[in-house]
Amino acid sequence: MAPPVVAALHRFLAATIRWEFVGGPWKPSDPPYILCFWHARILMMPHAFRGWTGRMLISEHRDGELIAQAVARLGIASVRGSTTRGGARAVMQMIRAARQGMPLGITPDGPRGPREVVQPGAVWLARKTGLPLRAVCYATSRHVRLNTWDRFYVPLPFSRGVFVFSDYLDVSGMDEDEALAALQRLMDETQAKADSWFAKRAG
């Protein structure tokens, strides 16, 4: 889908789903942190970050171009690259943004997976910038999963939705393996809470 179509779909779903927020949403007064969310759940993320002044790290792969153009239409600025491809330039831009007091965003399993497995980039960025990490995940009472590498999550209109925000994770005193394990736990726990939200309420 073209970026204008993706942006229009986002706006339609944002307007037709009854959203609630657990631990959020983001506020301009929040201290800067590194927003972490799975690649599959990028579609609705701008809804919880309206007015966000930070920078999102988006890959230089082909699907990254679509994502960057779509989120730009929703008011989210991006930096193109990753901690591997286009890494040095992108990382320096992210570090400069953090030094200017901006929050940052990254998909820890992007751009090509493995799906929902934390890669070192988010932890590396946290150690370089000194910013804490924070996991965010959304889920809806009705949705479909696409047949893509990340099983992309598409909410259905006129359903109920929830955004779950985790506590902050400071990895400054951890070694890399400990920090990766801590972020993986945080991501998994946040997703599990979001995915079980409506099942628990129905019960």
Whether the CA torsion 26, 28, 30, 33 is positive or negative: it is: positive
Name residues of the chain where pLDDT drops below 70.
1, 82-87, 200-203
CA distance 172 to 128: 9
- 155, two tokens: 């909410």
pLDDT at res. 114: 94
Pairing of strands 104-106, 153-155: unpaired
Instruction: Give the position of tokens 């006129």.
Output: 158
pTM: 0.91
Could you give the percent of the chain with pLDDT greater than 90? 76
